[in-house]
Amino acid sequence: MATLALYRAATALAAPAIAAFLAWRRLVGKEDAARFGERRGIASLPRPEGPVVWVHAASVGEAQSALTLVERLTAILPAAHVLVTTGTVSSARLLAERLPERALHQFVPVDRRRWVRAFLAHWQPSLALWIESELWPNLVLETAACGIPMVLVNARMSERSFANWRRWPGIVGPLLERFRRVLAQSELDGSRYRSLGAADVVVTGSLKYDAATLPVDAHELAHLAAAIGHRPRWLAASTHAGEDEPVALRGRFQLDHEVVLVLVIQNPHL
């Protein structure tokens, strides 16, 4: 707990540096200028009447995984609203297009206690569902202090993250203890969470396999299908800088038939 106390003190003392960093992000387009207050816990929407279920997803990938869960929550809880928080402009755009009725989006507050407390005081969620693996200490601790039950959903833990967290047992253990349950993607993920201090871990698989089919322009799809014909196709999605050439070469030499190779490049600025 001493390590956590140091973190909490540091985020309080670093207020000027955090404000400067946020201002820089706003300047380069990584923050939504019109909704900048949300990052400081200032809501841009009124709280709806009735229960609010809070779903936190870090960015586009987690938000995409969460959509099916959000749709299910609004279906089985007709009196409730679902608040989805993310930290990136690109995820906000995605959710603006795809959130169902009675679901709304806000940017997650930056991890300072004052801003987190303002966020929680406004929204007063009845339940908090955290998607995958983003654990912000002040956000976790202040949510638990409000008596809001928390569940880590679709939880994953890469080998690198596991190695990093093991160096900070004084932080990760107390954080995971605050979660009522961890729903892990795989047995390996589950074992890593248990070893880091999570008490109640259940392996449920990945939400991505339950996701609905992505929306598509029917005219463009038909045009692409006609151009490809019956040739084999290979999709390399969300590639990073430097990966395109080896992917293309591997596709060229591994397959004996003519190949249509489609590359979807991930914008590093989103």
What six digits make up the tokens of 200? 């109640």
What six digits make up the tokens of 84? 């989805």
Catalytic residues: 62
Determine the average pLDDT of the residues in 33-50: 97
CA 50 to chain centre: 25
Give dist(CA 104, CA 95) in Å, integer: 8
pTM over 0.85: no
Determine the average pLDDT of the residues in 234-260: 64
pLDDT bracket for residue 73 (50, 70, 90): very high
Is residue 234 classed exposed, middle or buried when 0-12, 13-18 and 19+ CB atoms within 10 A define those classes?
A: middle
In the chain the domains, ranked by start, together with CATH numbers, are: 2-210 (3.40.50.11720), 218-265 (no CATH)
From 232, 228, 262, select the one nearest 247 (Cα to Cα).
Answer: 262
